[in-house]
């Protein structure tokens, strides 16, 4: 399947597999949506030819086991955003090959776990050519006995000089029984590269809760506002206005906070 190189197209897939190849200089928004009581297994491939740009939104409210393989030629941009809420078992494996020079990929996501949910997100980013960039920022909120694992591996070949690669995860635990495993890996064979990685795992700030309570909020209201604010930080990566509004409304319903429409993300 090929995308147009004139205007931005929107493609929607629900609970399915696909193999997409986009023409040079294509501009496409891809929505991948999962909901329902039955578990899904999805395998997809994406190939971006020179100068293409793809926004890929993976929106999940059901159990799913997914793998996506992405190949970028030169001067391409791939933006991935994952939103997960309500799945008892969620697994996603994202593999990205930056084959052409001056290509960029961003991987962002927000994961909400509760009860005994199990969430696993794994990325492999392979820099094969010079002057490529990858940036990863993931956030999770884990409650009850939910467990999350976020594994990220970056491989930079010897030929991939002037590469920039960053990966960060920020995790909020709402229960003493909730847990998160985060493991970044860097394998670098090139010179003149810039690479960073980091991870945080924490709980709600007691001082912030106290401040909100002095402003007239009850304990549960204060907690909900702080969780909502932490989650909304991930929305900065969502470029599509319709997707931003949908996720923002989901967050408002989840945390019982009146939503403003998502435009201030």
Q: Is 211 helix (H, G, I), strand (E, B) or coil?
A: helix
Of 186, 203, 220, at which residue does a domain stop? 203
Q: Are strands 164-173 and 77-85 parallel, antiparallel or unpaired?
A: unpaired
CB 177, CB 146: distance < 8 Å: no
| 214/149 same-domain check | no
168 and 90 in a single domain? The answer is: yes
In a domain, 3, yes or no: no
Q: Are residues 31 and 136 in the same domain?
A: yes
Domain count along the chain: 2
Residue 44 makes CB contacts below 8 A (sequence gap 6+) with 13, 17, 18, 19, 20, 32, 66, 67, 68, 69
Co-location of 46 and 90 in the same domain: yes
Is 257 domain-assigned?
yes
Q: What is the pLDDT of residue 2?
A: 47
8 A C-beta contact, residue 252 and residue 244: no
36 inside domain: yes
pLDDT of residue 13: 87
Task: Note whether 83 and 145 are same-domain residues.
Answer: yes
Domain identity same for 139 and 100: yes
Average pLDDT, consecutive stretches of 10 residues, N- to C-terminus, the chain (265 residues): 59 86 96 89 96 97 96 98 95 97 98 96 97 97 96 96 96 96 94 93 95 95 93 93 90 73 50
CA distance 233 to 258: 16
Structural domain boundaries, residue 260: 205-265
Question: CA separation (Å) from 148 to 54, 112, 143, 170?
Answer: 27, 9, 10, 12
Residues 156 and 194 in one domain: yes
Residues 263 and 174 in one domain: no
What's the token pair of residue 251?
């967050």
Question: Do 213 and 158 share a structural domain?
Answer: no
For residue 185, being part of any structural domain is answered with: yes
| Residue whose structure tokens are 């078992």 | 89
26 shares a domain with 107 = yes
Per residue in 110-141, pLDDT (tens digit) is: 999 999 999 999 999 999 999 999 999 999 99
Residue 1 lies in a domain: no
Q: Is 125 in the same domain as 213? A: no
pTM for this entry: 0.92
Contacts (Cβ under 8 Å, ≥6 apart) of 109: 80, 81, 82, 83, 84, 121, 137, 138, 139, 234
**pLDDT at site 263:** 53
Shared domain check, 155 and 25:
yes
Determine the Cα–Cα distance for residues 168 and 155; give it in Å rounded to an integer. Answer: 16
pLDDT of residue 258: 58
């Amino acid at each position: 399947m090929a995308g147009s190189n004139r205007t931005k197209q929107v493609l929607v897939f629900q609970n399915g597999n696909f193999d997409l190849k986009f023409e040079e200089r294509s501009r496409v928004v891809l929505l991948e949506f999962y909901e329902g009581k039955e578990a899904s297994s999805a395998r997809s491939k994406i190939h971006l030819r020179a100068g293409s740009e793809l926004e890929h939104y993976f929106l999940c409210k059901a159990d799913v086991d997914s793998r996506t393989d992405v190949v970028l030629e030169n001067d391409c941009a791939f933006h991935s955003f994952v939103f997960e809420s309500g799945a008892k078992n969620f697994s996603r494996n994202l593999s990205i090959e930056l084959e052409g020079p001056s290509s960029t990929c961003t991987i962002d996501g927000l994961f909400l776990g509760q009860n005994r949910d199990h969430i696993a997100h794994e990325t492999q980013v392979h820099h094969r050519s010079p002057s490529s960039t990858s940036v990863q920022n993931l956030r999770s909120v884990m409650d009850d006995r939910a467990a999350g694992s976020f594994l990220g591996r970056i491989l930079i070949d010897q030929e991939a000089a002037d590469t920039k690669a960053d990966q960060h995860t920020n995790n909020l635990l709402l229960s003493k029984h909730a847990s998160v495993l985060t493991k970044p890996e860097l394998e670098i064979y090139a010179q003149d590269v810039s690479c960073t990685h980091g991870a945080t795992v924490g709980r709600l700030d007691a001082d912030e809760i106290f401040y909100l309570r002095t402003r007239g909020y009850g304990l549960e209201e204060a907690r909900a506002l702080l969780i909502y604010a932490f989650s909304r930080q991930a929305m900065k990566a969502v470029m599509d206005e319709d997707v931003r509004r949908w996720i923002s409304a989901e967050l408002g319903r989840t945390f019982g906070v009146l939503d403003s429409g998502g435009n201030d993300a």
